[in-house]
């Protein structure tokens, strides 16, 4: 005799299989498992099945298909879970559909789910992408840098400011390491080292984001670009502190500040 637990286990197996298909890039096969194989076994897909289907639509960039899945989920279950909403937000933000991404955030809160950095990061990425695509370089002379208190004390740029406002409007949500990577990387690639460093400073000092090694490497790259841009190799040694505003940051390992200083001194030829 088949018990309710047996049925749940069978659906769970199908879900694992479908998820593995998605990871292998076999999206159509995953949909076949979820929409035909499960019903064909005399069972119905559960909420996790639909979340996996949403995941497939996200990877395909299929916003229309994702909306169809969402409507079916609402009809069957009424109340979606956190994974559902986070995936929807990611889909809409990835497609540049900011209004729909915000609608998903609002519905998520209405349903009593907690909005986190994972929920908001795709929107922050979209903000930064739009800003960086139309912004210009920010290379400044040394006097301008010194007047602001060092490289990294200037303007964050509209994208990073918009991201701050986004998190501030969602109580309890705090930027995380992924947020910082997503905000810094486009600026560094666009040749905006000073804004890259400004974002680093603010999000670490004011927002409490803990840097990882990728972030520190981005800092080193930005510093190298800034140093080359203003030809700091002619700067007197006592101005070196302008390029070392990071040694007081919480280190990711005990030697991180020392390593950073050595690399910057090497860049300066000091």
Mention every residue, 6+ apart, whose C-beta is less than 8 A from residue 34. 14, 15, 18, 45, 49, 50, 52, 53
- Is the Cα torsion angle 102, 87, 110, 158 positive or negative in sign? negative
Query: Tens digits of per-residue pLDDT, 155-187?
Result: 788 899 999 999 999 988 999 999 999 999 998
Q: Quick one: pLDDT at residue 205? A: 83
pLDDT confidence of 99, banded at 50, 70, 90? very high
User: If we measure between CA atoms, which residue out of 76, 4, 41, 88 comes closest to residue 15?
Assistant: 41
Q: Quick one: pLDDT at residue 223? A: 72
Query: Tens digits of per-residue pLDDT, 21-67?
Result: 888 888 888 888 888 888 888 888 899 999 999 999 999 999 999 99
- What is the rounded average pLDDT for all residues in the chain? 79
256 against 24, higher pLDDT: 24
Q: Quick one: pLDDT at residue 266? A: 63
Residue 126 has pLDDT above 50, yes or no: yes
Q: How many residues does the chain have?
A: 270
| Domains of the chain by residue range | 9-78, 96-130+158-173, 175-236
CA dihedral 98, 100, 102, 105 (to 10 degrees): -140
Unique residue bearing structure tokens 């301008």? 144
Q: Quick one: pLDDT at residue 137? A: 59
The angle formed by the CA atoms of residues 7, 11 and 12, to the nearest 5 degrees, is 115
Q: Quick one: pLDDT at residue 27? A: 86
**73-87, 131-145, 239-253: which has the minimum mean pLDDT?**
239-253
Residue 202 has pLDDT above 50, yes or no: yes
User: If we measure between CA atoms, which residue out of 17, 41, 42 comes closest to residue 31?
Assistant: 17
CA dihedral 184, 185, 186, 187 (to 10 degrees): 50
235 against 39, higher pLDDT: 39
pLDDT confidence of 122, banded at 50, 70, 90? very high
Ordered DSSP codes for the chain: ---HHHHHHHHHHHHHHHHHHHHTT-HHHHHHIIIIIHHHTT----HHHHHHHHHHHHHHT-HHHHHHHHHHHHHHHSS--HHHHHHHHHHHHHTT-HHHHHHHHHHHHHTTPPP-HHHHHHHHHHHHHHHHHT-------HHHHHHTTSTTSS---HHHHHHHHHHHTSTT----HHHHHHHHHHHHHTT-HHHHHHHHHHHHHTT-PPP-HHHHHHHHHHHHHHHHHHTGGGS-GGGGGGG-TTTTSPPSSTTHHHHHHHHHHHHHT-
Query: Tens digits of per-residue pLDDT, 133-161?
Result: 776 655 444 444 444 545 455 678 889 99
**Cα 145 to Cα 142: distance, rounded to the nearest angstrom:** 5
**Cα 98 to Cα 43: distance, rounded to the nearest angstrom:** 37
């Amino acid at each position: 005799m088949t018990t309710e637990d047996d049925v749940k286990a069978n659906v769970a197996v199908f879900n694992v299989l479908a998820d593995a298909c998605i990871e292998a890039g076999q999206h159509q096969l995953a949909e076949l498992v979820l929409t035909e194989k499960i019903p064909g076994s005399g069972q119905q897909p559960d909420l996790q099945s639909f979340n996996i289907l949403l995941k497939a639509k996200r990877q395909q960039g299929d916003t229309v298909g994702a909306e169809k899945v969402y409507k079916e989920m609402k009809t069957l279950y009424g109340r979606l879970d956190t994974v559902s909403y986070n995936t929807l937000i990611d889909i809409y933000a990835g497609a540049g559909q900011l209004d729909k991404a915000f609608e998903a955030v609002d519905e998520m809160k209405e349903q009593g789910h907690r909005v986190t950095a994972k929920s908001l990061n795709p929107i922050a990425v979209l903000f930064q992408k739009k800003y960086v695509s139309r912004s210009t370089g920010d290379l400044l002379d040394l006097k301008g840098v010194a007047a602001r208190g060092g490289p990294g004390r200037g303007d964050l740029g509209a994208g990073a400011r918009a991201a701050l406002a986004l998190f501030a409007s969602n109580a309890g949500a705090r930027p995380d390491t992924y947020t910082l990577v997503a905000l810094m990387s486009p600026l560094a690639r666009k040749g905006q080292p000073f804004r890259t460093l400004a974002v680093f400073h603010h999000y670490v000092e004011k927002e409490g984001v803990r840097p990882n090694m990728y972030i520190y490497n981005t800092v080193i790259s930005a510093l190298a670009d800034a140093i080359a841009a203003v030809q700091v190799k002619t700067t007197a040694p006592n101005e070196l502190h302008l390029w070392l505003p990071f040694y007081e940051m919480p280190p990711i390992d005990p030697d991180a500040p020392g390593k950073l200083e050595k690399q910057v001194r090497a860049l300066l030829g000091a």
